[in-house]
Structure formats: structure tokens, C-alpha cells
Chains A and B, each alone.
Chain A
Amino acid sequence: MLVNEKVAIDHGLKADEYKKICDLLKRTPNITELGIFSAMWNEHCSYKSSRLHLKKLPIKGKKVIQGPGENAGVIDIDDGDAIVFKIESHNHPSFIEPYQGAATGVGGIMRDVFTMGARPIANLNSIHFGSPQHKKTKNLLRGVVHGIGGYGNCMGVPTIAGQTSFDSSYNGNILVNTMTLGLVKKNKIFYSKAAGLNKPVIYVGSKTGRDGIHGASMASASFDEKIEEKKPTVQVGDPFTEKLLLEACLELMSGDSIIAIQDMGAAGLTSSSIEMASKGNLGIEINLNKVPCRETKMTPYEIMLSESQERMLIVLENGKEDYAKKIFDKWNLDFAVIGKTTDSKNIELFFNNEQVANIPVNTLVENSPMYDRKWKKSKLPKKNKIKKDVLNKLKIKDILKKILSNHNICSKEWIWQQYDHTVMGDTIQKPGGDSGVVRVHGTDKAVAATVDSSAVYCWAHPLTGGKQVVAESWRNLISVGATPIAITNCLNFGSPENEENMGEFVECVQGIGEASKYLNFPVVSGNVSFYNQTKEIGIKPTPSIGGVGLIKNYKKMITMDLKEINNLVLIIGKTEGHIDQSLFARTILDEKNGPPPEINLFNEKNNGESLLNLIEKDYIKSAHDISLGGLITAISKMCIKGDKGIKLKKPKNLINDIEYLFAEDQGRYLIEVNPQDLKNVSKILDKNSVFHEELGVIIDKEIIINEKTKLTIDELRSYNTNWLKDFMDA
């Protein structure tokens, strides 16, 4: 096939990008080469619109072993142990084919983690769907949940936490973000940097088929009405093979025969071989006839661009081929020496004894396009003036019922019950808490992880929203007694070519950067997903933040269920009554305007660290951060989980009752303490200048909000637990 500008444009490249390719090569690329360029230069692989801004994120810290740029980030959790983790998007494929899209998302992120030598110990996910009334929502939700479960359950890795939301901005573009944590010894981490000349390049895992060709390019484009035609670009997952691949790789890694290893994810053999060569400043020569193929008559173009799953590329020490092959034979996996490292600094491909591609590696990586896209700064919206008499007409009980059963607040048990969350025998906090927690097998340590996003806040004011998501992740870790260490981010946005969407991206990233810098909560890995839009309409900006923290002694882990009658519940952090952009304002008042709650990073840090101090001193019986739905939603969940009630004290501050109960002021937690510890707890909080007040006293099975408003815990529970199940059964 002849290559020209039109063919290049059909590959998703721009005319000037095609010209740049010809200039770099000093000739016209052939079709295989063009395919390789299009795969490496698309948004998904090259980060061409985002690189400039991502550079501003804080990526260093005392506990950071590996920041962005590798298959996943790595943090130190002491005693020679490290946690490898990353979050990634699989949005486009999941909309086209929800089961396989979500399943291969889970498979891909686990591969990123075990490529580095770590055994996956926990999975998380953040999934976002269109409005519940939208005709596709139910099937997409069911398909995605089945896909995530189907893959993760079979792998035997517990899915310990997640987040699900519904918003009409996802009607045509759902989001599926998957995250994995793996455990590795600090001195046994594997990287993707090739080194040494004439080292064998090994292909292991599944055979290469025609599935997923141009998957990464598809993920770098907007959707239109012909989206169904893109089904063949979705990969098909085989978790069984991945389980074998995991065990075989870990077995090979226990020895010392691997120089570099890289999974074949987006853009398959192309990106994996080029990454390894680029990092090692080497060339790679591949004989494509040696690549194990599932289908006959595959062309070099197809072999290089296939996104068949469950495959790895390894650069081995010379002479270790037989030793390695034995391991892969034992696990019934393909093993083939397909090439070698060279000093040419080019990627050279051969097929039927002919050279079919020869491209300098640096043209694909360092010389890939980088754009300083135009972007529009957002203004902080004006505060709404909500009339007191509007609020006074509302009945607290009715609002609480609506809020607890709201699709973005209600219990997601229908979802997480379909995920094996207890396999591996170390899950000590299941989904449904502030963070999932797994023990570090055989030790007293535990690792907490959470994934969060607040698209509404980010949409209202990206800078504040970006900060808020990081702060929420931080709070969710602290609420279970974990010291926050680092985050991974999955940045889901509309088109970077649209100034408003690009502005949302730039300012969310700025917010994430500011908060993570202030909280000493660096970004160690991540992924950008642009073009989450159908025609001209982009999604609400949705950065998902995956936070990881450490609990030194797992017996000190905190859960949110109320523990004991007569204990007191205190609020940490001040309730100012910020109603704009709260769930209350949006669903009860139908008010969509106004600024999101302000983030005060000093208070976040101070309040959080003070709470950790109280937990360390064993004063805290239960804890929960206050977020969506405000104070009353938070305490309701604590009541439901603990099957206990609470009698609220009349608040001292002069704000309206409704503002007090439903405001979404940030930096707040609820904590349960024994009355005899109150003095000591107050003393510590006062000393640290942490604002706190008493919410109420724990009683049996009833929530007494004021003289007129009482609800039983069973009522609260039925509001909270039924919505999703009823929705899916209907």
C-alpha cells in the first residue's frame, strides 16, 4: 500500500505530523512504518497534549522509589518492602464493548504491576456512567462490573475498593479506570530499560492475533454515531492466560536472568520494543516471522499493531534462554526468541528475510510531537444566595431520604459483591469503607488504598476541584488510620483541541499539583485519557486519584462503623455551611451553579495529621471523613454500618440547620471517642489548633436529629441499600 498524506490522516495523524515524519526519516515511510508512527504519536502513547503540563506535578518524595515514566510507580513501605501501583483508563473500549473493555483494563493494569516484579495484592476501580435514565446505562454498568469481576476474580487478586458515579455527561462516554497495587522486595524491582548488545529479545505469553489493532488510536479519538463499527479494535481478555503469565514471570524473576521487561499494552509489540530500546539508548532488531501468531497470514503491520492481551517482551541475559523457556513451557505459554539488542539505535524489523521497517528510535520517542494547546482559564463562579425561607420550608427527613438513596451516595454493594474481595486472605477492610485495606502478607503492616474523583467540583472550578480530589484521597486514607504516601492519577477529560476542555485539564492538573505538593503526597504514576467526548460534547472533567498509605500495625486500623453506645462523636474541622455544588443543592434545590467548597490545604494537613496522632494514641474508636452529602450523610453511614444510633446536640454555630447538616465544607472528619478520653482528645486538638465540636452521643438504633426529626437505623439502611439493586433488577 502506497503511503501518502491521506493514508496518514486515516491513521489519525495530522498533516503537519506526517510532514514531520517524512522530514525525520528523510523519505516516505512505508505502511508498516507509518503504522508504528501513528501508534507511538497518538495522544494515548505520546502524551503530546499533556506532557508540558504533567511536568509540573510533584513526583519526588522520601518514600518514592520510582516516579512516572516506568510501567508503574514504586514506593517504599519499610523493611525492604515496596508497593508498585498505577491507575489506568480503559474508557473508549468499555463503551464499545463493556465486558471486554473493562476486563482488559483490569488485565492491563495488573500486567503493568507484575512487569515490575510485584505480585498484585489489590485491585481498585473508578467507574462512571451516564444518567440512570439513559437507555444504555444499565447494560453498560452490568457489562463493566461483570468484566472487572470476570478478570480480577479469575486472577485471584482481591478488588478491595472503588468508586461509582452517574452523571449525564457520561451518557456517551463512560469511564472505566482500573488500579492495581503489587508487593515487591525493594531489591527485586524490574525495569524496562534494555542494556547490553546482542542480548536476546524474548516474546512470552499469548499468541498475537488481529484483535485490538489500532486500539490506542481509537482511544485517542472522539466518538461519533459509527462507534459500533470500532468493535474489532477492542481487545479480548483471557485472565487464565494472564494468571499463568503472572506465575511464570514471577518464577523467572526469582532468578537473575532478566535485564529488562515490558508488557505489551497499548500499541503492543511496537511500544514495548521501542520503550525498552529508547530507555536503554539502544537499537532492537526483530524477526517478525518468529512472533507466535494465532492467525495465518498476518502482515508485519498487523503483528506490530496488534493489541492482543497477555503478552510480555523480555531482554534476557545471554545463555539464559533454555532456563527461561523451561519455566514458560511448564506454564504452557508461548516462548520465542524474536530478536536482539543492537547498537544501531534503530528499530529494525525483518519479515521473510526482508527488512520491512527501519526507524531511528529517537524519532518515535524524543521527537514525538509536543503541543502547547490553547486553553481557557476558568473563573470562580459567584456564590448563590439561597433564601433562608426556601430552606426552612424543607423537611430534613425527606431530604435525608432523597440524599441517602441518591444514586451517587447509595450503597454500591450490588457491585462489589460481584468482586472477589477476600481472596489472598489478607483483606482487613472490605469495599464500602473509606479505603480498602490489605495486610502485607506475613507482617504486621497493612496497605490502604482508595480511589476518588469529584467531577462536579472540577467542572465548577477545575483548580479547586483538582485540589479537592487529592485532599479527599488523603482524608480517606487517614480515616482508616493509614499514613498517606503517594498517589497515582488517571486524568479523564474531553478534547485537548477544545480550549475549554484543555483549560479544565490544565487547571485540574495545577490543583492536583498544588495539593499533592503541600500534603507531601507525590504523584508516582498515572495516565491521561483525552477525547472522552461524543461529537462536540465532552465529559465533566474527571481526574481520578488513587491514593496509597501505610498502616504500621494493622491492629490499629480504623473502620467507620459506630462501636459503642454512650461514646461521643466529634466533628473535626469547621462547618461553615457551604451549600453550592453540594449534592443537596444539585438534587434538592436543583441549583447547578456556584463555586465548589474551598480547599484550605493548611487545615487539610493539620486536621489529618492530628487525627493520625489521635489514632496512634488509641483514642479513636471509629472515623469517617465528611464528603458528598455532608455531615448527616456521613453520620448516617456510620450508624448503618455499626447498627447504632446517635442523638445530635444542637449545633452552637448560627448557621441554618439544613446548611449545618448538608453542607460540603472540606477538611472534616467524624470521630468516635470514649467519653473518658474526651479531655485528652480535646487537649491534643486544641494544642494543634484543630477546630472541633461535639456532634452527639451514640445511642441504640435511632438517629435523633432534633425534637421533631427521628429515624430508625433500619429506615436509613433501607434508603441507602435498595436503590442500586432495585435499579438493576427493574
Chain B
Amino acid sequence: MKSSVITFPGSNCDRDMDVALKKFGFKNEMVWHNDNELPKSDLIVLPGGFSYGDYLRCGSMASKSKIMQSVINFAKSGGLVMGICNGFQILVEAGLVPGVLLRNKYLEFICKNVFVKSDNKENIYFKNLNKEVLEFHIAHNEGNFFCTPDQLKEIEDNNQIAIYYCNKEGQIEDQYNPNGSLKNIAGIFNKEKNVLGMMPHPERMIDQSLSGEDGSLFFKNLINNIK
């Protein structure tokens, strides 16, 4: 399986993602934002970080960078594109997934482990993953998902919500929402479910010695599903 991780100026989780993808069997290649062409890939990842310093709206500058046209074409033709954290913000800005990501409700950067519930299995990312509540890790300042009521209805009608913030038992309640996201949304798909944007970093949860291992489950399952 081949994957590509895009490096934008200011990306800083690109190496971590490269390490994770390789650990679980992807042949990964790093792609520079200023390139025109994507290498042949089964999965494209937009990594976390602060692309272009995020001095404009997070992800907005990166969404206009050269490589993004190829990424958009790739996604529109059904290719798998996953955006993590800043990558999610870029996907939103590129219009590949709906909604916007606002500043966290308490106006502070949050770095901690969270639980997320993934009961939506009709997609290539979470299909066959037999753990419903995953312990992931977040590290962001702008992860507060928001959209209009009409958009939300459409998102729900199409079953586009990928993961929700919850507690250890899988209860999705306000008190387990770290950043004020609408409906506790932590990750979302496009309509066709080949594009996934999520705030949590599975690549930081791939080793017993790190914050946990649920990221390993996610990547192992993903590569099996793609095969």
C-alpha cells in the first residue's frame, strides 16, 4: 500500500505521520506543497501543524497551495484523503468536508488524551474496527467544529459524522466535549466517505510507551481495509 504525506511550510506532524504509516506497512512518500503532481498513492494524508503559521484562518493558505489542486482532484475521483488536525482545517478550507473549525470554546490550546466514539462503520476508515470507544490524543487551538443547521441536517442524513468526543464508556455528553464542537463532533467525512477530517492524532497513539495504543488499532485496520 502506498501513502503520501504532504508537507506544507509549517507542518510539524508530517514526520510523526510518516513514522506511523511506515510502522503499519504503508510505503510512504513525503510530498512538497509546491509540487504539482501526487505520486501514485492509495492514501493521501494532510498532517497536523501550523501551515503558513495559520496567520490567516487555519488551513486557508495551505488549501490554496499548488499541490492541493491534485489532492482535490484525487479526492473527487474517489481517492482516500485523510486530514488530521491542521490537515482537517485544510480539508474544511478546501471544501472537501463540510463545516468550519472555530477557536476552542475556552480560548486555550488543549493537549490531552480524549475518548472518541466511532459507531459509524460504513466507511473504509472505521469498518471492521471492533473497538467502539478509542483513546486518542488532541493538541489544537482551533478544533471547535461548527456548521449551519441545514448543513448539520445534511451531515446527519448522510451519516457523515465519523467520531464524537465521549467518555470512557462511550457516552457522548457536553462535559466530555473538550473544545465546544457542535454535537461533540471530532471527525467528519465527505458525502462519499473517502475523505476523513479529524482533530485527534492517531499517530501519537502507536506505542505502549506513548500516550496509548489505540492509534495502532486504527492504522492496522485501515491498511487491512485498503488491501
Contacts and interface: CB of A to CB of B under 8 A. Distances in A.
A475 interface: no
B13 A149 contact: no
A238 interface: yes
A335 interface: no
Interface stretch (A50-58, A152-160, A716-724): A152-160
A564 interface: no
A240 interface: yes
Interface string B99-118: 00000000011111000000
Contacts of A149: 109
Contacts of B210: 422, 425-428
A555 interface: yes
Contacts of A419: 109, 111
Interface string B52-69: 111100000000000000
Contacts of A332: 9
A439 B54 CA distance: 29
Nearest to A422: B204
A345 B26 CA distance: 56
Given A240-B52, A240-B53, A423 B139 contact: yes
Contacts of A150: 109
B12 A243 contact: yes
B21 to A, nearest CB: 12
A335 to B, nearest CB: 16
B109 A420 contact: yes
Contacts of A430: 211
Nearest to B11: A156
Interface in A399-443: 416-428, 430, 439
B193 interface: no
A650 B52 CA distance: 61
A425 B19 contact: yes
B161 interface: no
Contacts of B111: 153, 416-422
B50 A425 contact: no
B18 to A, nearest CB: 10
Given A243-B10, A425-B206, A428-B210, A154 B53 contact: yes
Contacts of B191: none
B16 interface: yes
B16 A423 contact: yes
Contact of A156 (B49, B54, B112, B203): B49
A423 B9 contact: no
Interface string B1-31: 0000000011011011001100000000000
B77 interface: no
Nearest to A728: B108
A239 B52 CA distance: 10
B12 A238 contact: no
Contacts of B10: 154, 240, 243-244
A153 B109 contact: yes
Nearest to B32: A330
Interface string B138-161: 010100000000000000000000
Contact of A417 (B48, B112, B203): B112
A619 interface: no
B139 A425 contact: no
Nearest to B53: A240
Interface in B178-220: 201, 203-204, 206-207, 209-211
A375 interface: no
Contacts of A243: 9-10, 12, 50
B176 to A, nearest CB: 15
A244 B112 contact: no
B55 A425 contact: no
A240 B209 contact: no
A375 B111 CA distance: 46
B22 to A, nearest CB: 11
Contacts of A421: 111
A123 to B, nearest CB: 13
Interface string A331-362: 11000000000000000000000000000000
B209 A244 contact: no
Interface of B: 9-10, 12-13, 15-16, 19-20, 48-50, 52-55, 108-112, 137, 139, 141, 201, 203-204, 206-207, 209-211
29 contacts: A146-B108, A153-B50, A153-B111, A238-B53, A239-B50, A239-B53, A240-B52, A243-B50, A331-B9, A417-B108, A418-B108, A418-B111, A419-B109, A419-B111, A420-B109, A422-B111, A422-B210, A422-B211, A423-B12, A423-B16, A423-B204, A425-B15, A425-B16, A425-B204, A425-B207, A425-B210, A427-B210, A430-B211, A557-B209
Interface of A: 146, 149-150, 153-156, 238-241, 243-244, 331-332, 416-428, 430, 439, 554-555, 557
Given A154-B10, A240-B50, A422-B201, 6 more contacts: A146-B108, A331-B9, A418-B108, A418-B109, A420-B139, A423-B12
Question: 6 closest pairs, A vs B, by CB?
Answer: A156-B12, A240-B53, A425-B16, A154-B50, A420-B139, A428-B209
